[in-house]
Amino acid sequence: MDSNYINRELSLLEFHKRVLAQAFDPEVPLLERLRFLCISCTNLDEFFEIRVAGLKQRMEIGAPAQGLEKIPAQAVFDKVHVEVADLIRRQYELLNNVMFPELTKAGVHFVQSEEWNDEQKAWLSEYFDEQVVPVLTPLTFDPSRPFPRILNKSLNFIVRLHGRDAFGRRRHRGMVQAPRSLPRIIELPEHLSEPNGHSYVFLSTIIRVHVDRLFPGLEVDGCYQFRVTRNSDLYIDDEEVSDLVRALEGQLEASRYGAAVRIEIGHECPEDLQEFLLDHFSLQECDMYLVEGPVNLNRMSTVCGIGDRPELLYEPFTQGLPDELLTDEDIFEVLSKKNVLLHHPYQSFAPVIEFIALAAVDPDVLAIKQTLYRTGADSPIVDHLVTAARSGKEVTVVIELMARFDEAENIALANRLQEAGAHVVYGLVGFKTHAKMVLVVRREDDKLVRYVHLGTGNYHHATTSVYTDYGYLSSSSRLGEDVHKLFLQLTSLTEAVGMTRMLASPFSLFDALIDKIRRETENAEAGKDARVIAKVNSLNEPQLIDALYEASQAGVKVDLIVRGICTLRPGVKGLSENIHVRSIVGRFLEHSRVYYFLNDGDEEFYCSSADWMERNMFRRNESCFEIRQKAMKEQIRQHLELFLADNCQAWVLAGDGSYERLTARKEERVSAQETFLEHLAAQS
C-alpha cells in the first residue's frame, strides 16, 4: 500500500460495481435487475462525462499528480480503463446470457432480427418506411460534406458502402444518425407478440436490417452502431462572468459537443472502420469499448415499469405518516405544538408539499423562502410557489443553476418564478447552493412566527419515493432565526453569525466537525468511551480523514456508512484499526446524511445536506441541523444501529480499496431497508 488514501476515481468505480451486482442478484425481481443494469450504464456515462474527462484533461496538459494518493493521471486512467472494460464485459454477459433468456421465459421478449417471423418482418418493414425513414438523414462523405457533428451519447451508425452515387463518384462510407425523437425500443402489436407477453425490437436492429433502403444505387456491406461520450463538465469563470444565466446557457450548448472521451462500437464492426472513427474523434484504442448489444443499455429502462407484470417488480408499499400528522389539524397547528421528523421514502413527502401549498394560500402567511437544487420539470412545489407569488406574498427562491445535468430545467424554473413575481436568486458562482431549506413567515396574534422545513435531500417529489432522506418540520424560534440568517447569507452574501441550532458550509460546518472528532479523540485518550458514526454519500475530505485516523489511533470507535466514494482506508494497522466502513446498496438509494458523536454520554445527532467531501465543506452552501428531541434522537439511533447490523445489502470496505458483500443464513438475515418496510406494513 503506497498511500493512506484510496483514489477517488477507483473508489467511484467500486460503487458502480456494487450497483451492477444488484442486477446479478437472483433475489431481486427480474425487471428491477434490469433497472439496476440500466442504472449501471447511466452511472458509467456520467463517470466518463465528468471524471474521465477530467483525467484526460490533466493528462493532456501534463498536470502533476493530484489527490492525496499522488497517483499520476495517466496511471489512474490506465487502471480505470482496465476496470471499466471488465465492468462493461460483465454488463453485456449478464444481458445476453442471463437477462434476455430469463426475460423471455417471463414473457418479456426482445426479438432479435434472426427470430422475426414473416408477419413481424412485414410490420417492421412498414414501420421503418412510415415512422423511421421520414426523420432519418443518411449521409455520405466528401470534401464538401465532411463527417457531421455527433451529439453527446446519441445513437449513430457507420455504414460500409460500395459503388458509385448518382453523380458517378465512388462511395466507401456512409453514416446514419438516429434522431432523438425516435423511440429506441419499439413494442410489437399484441397480435405479433408472444401469447400473454410483450415483444420488443431495438430501433438499432430495425435500422441495421433496412439500412440498404437509405442508400439506393449503392451496395451496403455492413452497418454498425456507435455512440460517443463527450466531456460534459461545465466551467464558469466566476471572475469573468457578468450574466450567469447567459454564460450557463452557452456552456450547456457547448457541452453537447465537448471533447470526445469514449466511443462505444458494435463488436462486429471491422477494424478499419473502428480506426476511422477513432481517428475522426481524436481517440485512442484505450478509449474504445466494443459491445455485444445496444450501445446504450439505459434505453431498456422503458420496459421496467410494465404494468401487468407486478411479479417482476418490487412489491409496492404505501408510504406512512408520523403519528403527529395523523390528525385533522393543519400543518401549522401541528407544528405550533411539536416538531415533526419524516423518514423518506417510508414516510410520505406529501406533508412537505402540503406545508408549502398551505403557505401559498394562507392569508396569514406573509413570506416564503426556499432553496431549490433539483426539483424536476413538473414540480408541484414550484406550482405552489408561483401561486404564492401571484397572490402577492413575498416569495424568495434561491435556485442553484449549476446543479449538474439539471441546469436547463433550473433555468426554465427560474424564468417561470420570475415571471410570477418571485424574487429569484442564483447560487453564487463557485459556491453551489446545496442546502435544503424552506422558511415560512406567518402572522399569528400580532406577532410573526417562523416555520421551517430542513432536509437531507432535494425537493424533488419523484425521487422522494426511491431516495432515503430525513425531513424536519418545526416552528422553533431559535431554529427559525438560524434559517433566517442563512437565507440572508444567500441573498446578501453576508456571513450568518451567532447561530445556535445550525451549522453551515462554507463557514462553520467543517470546523465544528473537526472539533467534535477531536473531542472524541481527547475523551478516548482520557479513558472515556468515545464514538463517531457518520452516514454520508461520499467521503474524501483529507483533514476529516486525518482527524478520523487520529481518533482511531486514540481508541475512538468509528463507524462510517458511506454509499459511494470513500478515500479513507479502514482497518490498517497503526492507522485505522478502529474504523469500519460499509456501503448499503439496495432497493432505495441511500441518500441521508447523519452525524453522531457520543460526547461523553451527552450524545449529539445532526442531519445535513452535506457529504464529507472537500466540495461540500468549502465550495458549497450547505445546511446542518441538530436533532435535540429525545424521541427523535432515539429513532435515528435505531436507524443507524440497523444499518450497522445489515448483513444482506451491506458491503464492507477493506484497506486495499476493495469491497466484500456480507452474506448471512436466512434465519440470521438483517436488511435495514426490508426492516423499515416491514415496520411500515405492521403499522398500516
Instruction: List residues with catalytic annotation.
Output: 434
How far out from the chain centre does Cα 163 lie? 48
CA angle 369, 372, 376 (to 5 degrees): 135
Residue owning grid cell 443499455? 297
The DSSP 8-state label assigned to residue 95 in this structure reads I
What is the C-alpha separation between 546 and 576, in angstroms, rounded? Answer: 10
What is the C-alpha separation between 412 and 542, in angstroms, rounded? Answer: 37
* 129: number of Cβ within 10 Å: 12
Give me the DSSP letters along 295-323.
Answer: S-GGGGGGGTT-TT-GGGSPPP---B--G
Cβ within 8 Å of residue 231, ≥6 positions away? 49, 53, 56, 57, 255, 258, 259, 260, 261
Cα distances (Å, whole numbers) of residue 441 to 248, 301, 362, 396, 418: 33, 43, 11, 12, 20
- Residue count (the chain): 684
What is the C-alpha separation between 280 and 148, in angstroms, rounded? Answer: 10
Question: What nine digits make up the cell of 608?
Answer: 445535513
Cβ within 8 Å of residue 674, ≥6 positions away? 648
Phi, psi of 392, rounded to the nearest 5 degrees? 100, 0
Question: What nine digits make up the cell of 86?
Answer: 471488465
Question: What nine digits make up the cell of 78?
Answer: 490506465
By the 10 Å C-beta count (0-12 exposed, 13-18 middle, 19+ buried), 682 is classed as exposed
Contact 403, 373 (CB under 8 A): yes
Which residue type sits at 569?
R
* 328: number of Cβ within 10 Å: 5
Answer whether the bond into residue 345 is a cis peptide, omega within 30°. Answer: yes
Cα distances (Å, whole numbers) of residue 411 to 399, 493, 621: 9, 21, 19
